[in-house]
Amino acid sequence: MRFDIISVLPGLLDSPFAHSILQRAQKKGIAEIVVHNLRDYATNKQKSVDDYPYGGGSGMVMTIEPFAAIIEKLKAERDYDEIIFMSPDGETLNQQIANQLSIKGNIIILCGHYKGIDQRIRDIFVTREISIGDYVLSGGELPAAVLVDAVVRLIPGVLSDETSALSDSFQDGLLDAPVYTRPAEWNGHRVPDILLSGNTPEIEKWRFEQAVERTRLRRPDLLDE
């Protein structure tokens, strides 16, 4: 799976993809993540990628030409399944969307800045708009990193213990059960006996009950669905 992320601040994305699971996925050749500097596609002398909004008002708007240039270039090189714009007014990212995207081949992600991007870019090129929550960040880079992380860890072969993604919160419509590790007792606080019993079917049953109970208390809306 390949991601082409288009950003005016590519340096913001150096670190998120250079560690842990995302780094391993790239080393294994399962995910390819390419970050492009939008400014390289600016057509004017000042290399600017934004301009004043028509109609007045505060905040700059990102212009259509550089986005069009790089999107056309990328589309000439390979087919893309989705061109995603990270935007607070898009559909809110959830595990279901991450699952849908994890079986795609090539995806372009556009990161906005300032007041946003010229609406025509969204109308003409963008196939899907995704928000990471009801709050506004200064740019689309952190949201893009969140999206790529959520998607890549679901691609088979990325996590060493494949079942660990399947039992994560939301994956089966439930929150995850509580987890414990050594020591079995710390300052009088004991790990639940069942987890030390070695009785796998009973442990599975306990985990399921805990997951249902936690979901009922914290996110009853998930059980309604």
- Between CA 36 and CA 8 the distance in angstroms is 8
Per-residue x/- marks for ligand SAH, 113-152, CB under 6 A? x-xx--------------xxx-xxx-xx--x---------
Piece of the chain touching ligand SAH by CB under 6 A; list 16-24, 80-88, 155-163, 182-190: 80-88
Strands 189-190 and 185-186: antiparallel
Give the closest residue to 122 by CA, choosing from 74, 83, 73.
Answer: 83
> At 222, which helix (H) or strand (E)?
helix 220-224
Q: Is residue 195 annotated as involved in ligand binding?
A: no
Q: Is residue 6 annotated as involved in ligand binding?
A: no
Number of H helices and E strands in the chain, helices first, is 9, 9
Which of 86, 101, 145, 211 touches ligand SAH by CB under 6 A?
86
Q: Is residue 134 annotated as involved in ligand binding?
A: yes
HSE value, Cβ hemisphere, 13 Å, CA-based, for 102: 20
CA–centroid distance for 156 within its chain: 16
Least Å distance, CB 35 to ligand SAH, is 15
Residue nearest to ligand SAH (CB): 112
Complex with ligand SAH: residue 111 or 159, whichever CB lies closer: 111
Which of 87, 102, 106, 210 touches ligand SAH by CB under 6 A?
87
Neighbouring-strand partners of residue 128: 84
111 binds ligand SAH (CB under 6 A): yes
Q: Is residue 50 annotated as involved in ligand binding?
A: no
Neighbouring-strand partners of residue 130: 91
Contact at 8 Å (CB) between 115 and 127? no
Sign of the four-CA dihedral 167, 168, 174, 178: positive
Least Å distance, CB 67 to ligand SAH, is 12
Q: Is residue 133 annotated as involved in ligand binding?
A: yes
Residues of the shown chain interacting with ligand SAH in the complex, contacts defined by CB under 6 A:
86-89, 111-113, 115-116, 131-133, 135-137, 139-140, 143
Residue ranges of the binding site for S-adenosyl-L-methionine:
112, 132-137
